[in-house]
Structure 1
Amino acid sequence: MQENEPWQDPGLPEDARLTSLDKRLRQAQAQEAARTGTTDPASNRGRSQGMRILSDLIGIPLGSALIGWLIDGWAGTRPWVMLAMMFLGFGIAIRNVLWISRQPPK
């Protein structure tokens, strides 16, 4: 009973309209995949990895530079801590990119 919707009676036969609709839907998905040249309906999986890499390459160095700038203002050592934190952020971003590129797309 759990695999069916609560309002469906498991003892009833399948509705021919739903079976026909499922068949037409699978056929339309196959035609669309053939038209676009993709076999996987989730073909944009790699795009999420690319966006994550882009955000890491931009966000981590900028965030660490901001933290360094704040520390510089507090310690009075401008611009040395900010520069060190920015380069540390670049290193961490490159490490993350390498780690992400070794994983298969989700």
Structure 2
Amino acid sequence: MSDDKPAREPIEEDARIDALEKRLAAAQQREEQRNLPKASGADANYRSGNRVLADLLGGLLGGAVIGYAIGYFTGTNPWGLLVGLFLGIVVAFRNIIRAANQRPEE
């Protein structure tokens, strides 16, 4: 028993284990690709709808506030407010048309 040999011989790598490790790595890679977050069409439509709403409300409210302020300081209050609202509506629709004419990102 004084031999220098270990009690067990080291086990060589089996070809089946190598094939199994390759299959496992490929499966993990496919799973990572499958679980990547993807922007769906519904999300993009929701964002564009929110943008249209924000443009419309921002144009109306911004035009009303600026028109009222100009009318208040110049003494032409109802006309300043009406002109401001009209310009706000024009700007809002211009922004909405520009957003509608843009191509979606892919």
TM range (shorter): 0.5 to 0.7
- Could you list the per-position Cα deviations for residues 12-60 of structure 1 after superposition, in whole angstroms to 9, with x for gaps in the alignment? xxx866543222233456xxxxxxxxxxx21122222211111001111
| Equivalent position amino acid for 1:66 in 2 | V
Relative to structure 2, which stretch is displaced further, 62-71 or 16-25? Answer: 16-25
Instruction: Give the deviation of 1:85 after TM superposition.
Output: 0.9
Identity of aligned residues (%): 33
Q: Which residue number corresponds to residue 63 of structure 2?
A: 64
| Equivalent position amino acid for 1:21 in 2 | Q
Matches of 2:34 and 2:90 in 1, distance apart? 49
Pairwise CA RMSD: 2.5
Matches of 2:83 and 2:34 in 1, distance apart? 57
* Residue 23 of structure 1 pairs with residue 30 of structure 2: yes
| Equivalent position amino acid for 2:84 in 1 | M
Q: Which residue number corresponds to residue 4 of structure 2?
A: none
* Number of aligned residues: 82
SS of 1:95's partner is helix
User: TM-score when scaled to structure 2?
Assistant: 0.64
Matches of 1:27 and 1:57 in 2, distance apart? 38
User: TM-score when scaled to structure 1?
Assistant: 0.64
- Where does the alignment leave 5 or more consecutive residues of structure 2 unmatched? 1-20
Residues 49 and 105, structure 1, Cα contact 8 Å, conserved in 2:
no
Matches of 1:55 and 1:82 in 2, distance apart? 21
**Larger fraction in helix:** 2
Matches of 1:91 and 1:103 in 2, distance apart? 19
- Which fold has the larger relative contact order, with Cα–Cα distance below 8 Å and residues 6 or more apart in sequence? 1
- Where does the alignment leave 5 or more consecutive residues of structure 1 unmatched? 1-14, 30-40
SS of 2:77's partner is coil
Matches of 2:35 and 2:58 in 1, distance apart? 41
